[in-house]
Chains A and B, each alone.
Chain A
């Protein structure tokens, strides 16, 4: 396994390996509860909390967890944090908790979280595991915020409940419905792919200024 620097561990999940926009993990909440910015933030924060808490504990306890039952142990840890998040949200922001509904409990099965435990936190020191969780959680937040903003602006004409276009705005109903989640994600991925392609083309042209048709001819 290639050694990574602490900086890499933190940055990686935010952009280059963004869980939603690049790895396409954790799509269930990203599609389901990003119809408004507050919902997206609440879900992002809850997931961030669960991911960071679980990574910290898993990394701390990695030497005590027998490998035979490690998945069960990870799930136990994750489920504990999810239950805490669920109760806290219900107590503090009951309206948002009602909107998010079952999707808070479903953080347990968010493959992004279990994936980080199995692939990273269980094999790295506590500090690195925390950095990775913070990076990945932030990346998830960013993706949720992008989708939430896009959908709330078109679907309700507002951001965080503040109206942008005045009374007369005609909401794009589809954007606050589930199909709008798919459309938004597809649109963001399209823009991402398009940007990446242009970016990599620009790099290639810079590297081989004479213009090379295929890799074999360079080698």
Chain B
């Protein structure tokens, strides 16, 4: 360990012209170690300051999304998706942030309103992440909101910019059927698709249908247990970053 070959190799062309000065490896390590510790300390200090604000932003984003698709519930909390159905408590040993979950909204009287469910599937460009509000009793949607997508600006991005399309999901019955513009027959499960963005709009519909199909019976069972609203807004639930929620399956 005298000539430190890796370090020499990494030196590149800018190394000093003089013969390599032999510095004790211990000193090199100590230098880097101290520098690393200092850097870590600085980062931790900044993190301590920034983290509450970052978490607040994320919680606000999640709250806004849930509010949008459940038409402003008085409160909401996480319900975890497990192998054996939905569970109010996180599955043992699971990472609460990354565990798959849905959000249950309650009205001012503490009665459940409906579930906000996230989902993601590849659209025309990349994954479309969305959240939608769902009432298992009537099998109807409250609304749909696209959280993240890279669909073609001007065409595919109409899935969140075209308000006619977005509001078309309010009150629609599942499973949803996408209809060509002007072909709607007035049935309760029809949504008008976007001309020129067939793939994007079809993906949105399919994400919702697939998620309802996968969770539908579990949601019904969970709703039948008459879940209770959280006694007080639980910040810990709010902190479960929106990112954990939107990644989806």
A and B touch in the complex (CB under 8 A): yes
- Which parts of B41-74 form the interface with A (CB within 8 Å)? 42-43, 46-47, 49-51, 53-54, 57, 61
Residues from chain B with a CB closer than 8 A to the CB of A118 are 14
Q: A69 contacts B50, CB within 8 Å?
A: no
Tell me whether B1 is interfacial, beta carbon within 8 Å.
Answer: no
In whole Å, how far is A172's beta carbon from the nearest beta carbon of chain B? 10
Q: A71 contacts B43, CB within 8 Å?
A: no
Nearest residue (CB) in B for A67 is B16
Tell me whether A107 is interfacial, beta carbon within 8 Å.
Answer: no
Report how far A77 CA is from B35 CA in the complex, Å.
8
Tell me whether B31 is interfacial, beta carbon within 8 Å.
Answer: yes
Question: Is chain B's binding surface mostly helix, strand, loop or mixed?
Answer: helix
Q: A66 contacts B39, CB within 8 Å?
A: no
Residues from chain B with a CB closer than 8 A to the CB of A65 are 31
- How many B residues touch the partner, as a band? 20 to 34
- How many A residues touch the partner, as a band? 20 to 34
Q: A91 contacts B31, CB within 8 Å?
A: no
- Which parts of A114-161 form the interface with B (CB within 8 Å)? 118-119
Tell me whether B186 is interfacial, beta carbon within 8 Å.
Answer: no
Nearest residue (CB) in A for B60 is A94
Q: B42 contacts A84, CB within 8 Å?
A: yes
Report how far A87 CA is from B43 CA in the complex, Å.
9
Tell me whether A33 is interfacial, beta carbon within 8 Å.
Answer: no
- Which parts of B1-43 form the interface with A (CB within 8 Å)? 4, 7-8, 10-12, 14-16, 20-21, 23, 27-28, 31-32, 35-36, 39, 42-43
Q: B31 contacts A69, CB within 8 Å?
A: yes
Q: B46 contacts A87, CB within 8 Å?
A: yes
Tell me whether A190 is interfacial, beta carbon within 8 Å.
Answer: no
Residues from chain A with a CB closer than 8 A to the CB of B10 are 71-72
Q: Which of A83, A87, A88, A90 has the most CB of B within 10 A?
A: A87
Residues from chain A with a CB closer than 8 A to the CB of B16 are 67
Residues from chain B with a CB closer than 8 A to the CB of A171 are 153-154
In whole Å, how far is A204's beta carbon from the nearest beta carbon of chain B? 35
Q: Knowing A67-B21, A71-B12 touch, does A90 contact B50 (C-beta < 8 A)?
A: yes
Q: B32 contacts A87, CB within 8 Å?
A: no
Report how far A79 CA is from B39 CA in the complex, Å.
9
In whole Å, how far is A119's beta carbon from the nearest beta carbon of chain B? 8
Residues from chain A with a CB closer than 8 A to the CB of B21 are 66-68
- Which parts of A24-70 form the interface with B (CB within 8 Å)? 64-69
Tell me whether A73 is interfacial, beta carbon within 8 Å.
Answer: yes
Render A16-30 as a binary contact track against B, CB cut-off 8 A, 1 for contact: 000000000000000
Tell me whether B195 is interfacial, beta carbon within 8 Å.
Answer: no
Nearest residue (CB) in B for A177 is B153
Residues from chain A with a CB closer than 8 A to the CB of B82 are none
Residues from chain B with a CB closer than 8 A to the CB of A88 are 46, 50
Tell me whether B152 is interfacial, beta carbon within 8 Å.
Answer: yes
Report how far A91 CA is from B23 CA in the complex, Å.
42
Report how far A66 CA is from B4 CA in the complex, Å.
13
Report how far A28 CA is from B72 CA in the complex, Å.
42
Render A170-193 as a binary contact track against B, CB cut-off 8 A, 1 for contact: 010100110000000000000000
Q: B50 contacts A76, CB within 8 Å?
A: no
Residues from chain A with a CB closer than 8 A to the CB of B42 are 80, 84
Q: A83 contacts B152, CB within 8 Å?
A: no
Q: Knowing A68-B23, A71-B10, A91-B50 touch, does A76 contact B39 (C-beta < 8 A)?
A: yes
A-B CB contact pairs (8 Å), 9 listed: A84-B42, A84-B43, A87-B54, A88-B46, A88-B50, A91-B49, A94-B54, A94-B57, A94-B61
- Please name 16 further chain A to chain B contacts, defined as beta carbons within 8 Å, in addition to the given A68-B28, A87-B51, A91-B50, sorted by A numbering: A66-B21, A66-B23, A68-B4, A68-B11, A68-B20, A71-B10, A71-B12, A77-B39, A84-B43, A84-B46, A90-B50, A90-B54, A91-B51, A91-B53, A92-B53, A171-B153
**Interface set of B (CB-CB < 8 Å, partner A):** 4, 7-8, 10-12, 14-16, 20-21, 23, 27-28, 31-32, 35-36, 39, 42-43, 46-47, 49-51, 53-54, 57, 61, 152-154
